[in-house]
Amino acid sequence: MDNASRKRIEDDAKLVQIVDAELADATRRSGSWLVCKPGCHQCCVGVFAISQLDAERLRKGLVQLLIDDPVRAERVRIRVRESALRLQDEYPGDVTSGLLAEDDASQERFEEWGNDEVCPVLDPINGTCDLYEARPMTCRTFGPPVRTNEGGFGVCELCFIDAPPETVLDAEMHTDFLALEEDLNRALEDSTKRIGKTIVTFALR
């Protein structure tokens, strides 16, 4: 492993540590309004875009799982292959590279596509993530209130039901780490020349 790769891993580990700390803090402030728990996996249904930084982390996580638990890792690989077969014919992007197309028509199609596809990393028996420690940033920030670009909050529909607006505001997850994430992802894209977003299935295929 060269020095640049080693530094990327170290920097991503620091990013993950920051994000997980913010999630823990938001979880504490959310109290009983946040009902997310192991086995609750509604958020694992439906494809979503991930960055190259997420994709690299997932691949490293699968490599580690192959060492730690080869049987479980092989189950993940089987689910990935099956998912790819289901998704490839109508994938709004390049199937070979896994990169999503960025034109308006493709992005609009992506919003309506793959909504019933279960994440291949989800263990269908236990309802838990087989690559939890390597999960994408979207998964790490889902649940607590997260401010959207439109000025509102994105919240899991199972959480904060009938909560007063001030309760949602008080539980907001702080996202000061986004600039660091963007910098690290940009550096990775510059290094690998893989520029753009993908999905979990094609990141692990």
The string of pLDDT tens digits covering residues 157-194 is 899 999 999 999 999 999 999 999 999 999 999 999 99
CA distance 104 to 106: 6
Q: Which contacts (CB < 8 Å, 24+ apart) does range 101-105 have?
A: 102/196
Domains in the chain, number: 1
pLDDT reported for residue 38? 87
pLDDT reported for residue 39? 87
Residues in CB range of 112: below 8 A, 6 or more apart: none
CA distance 25 to 175: 12
Q: Tell me the CA end-to-end span of the chain in Å, nearest whole number.
A: 22
pLDDT reported for residue 11? 94
Q: What is the pLDDT of residues 63-116, one digit of tens each?
A: 999 999 999 999 999 999 999 999 999 999 999 999 999 999 999 999 999 999
Q: Domain of residue 195: give its range.
A: 3-204
pLDDT reported for residue 6? 87
| Residue 39 or residue 79, greater confidence | 79
pLDDT reported for residue 171? 96
Instruction: Point out which residues pair with 175 in neighbouring strands.
Output: none
* pLDDT value at 151 more than 90: no
161 close to 103: Cβ distance less than 8 angstroms? no
CA distance 78 to 120: 9
Q: How many CB atoms are closer than 10 A to CB 70?
A: 10
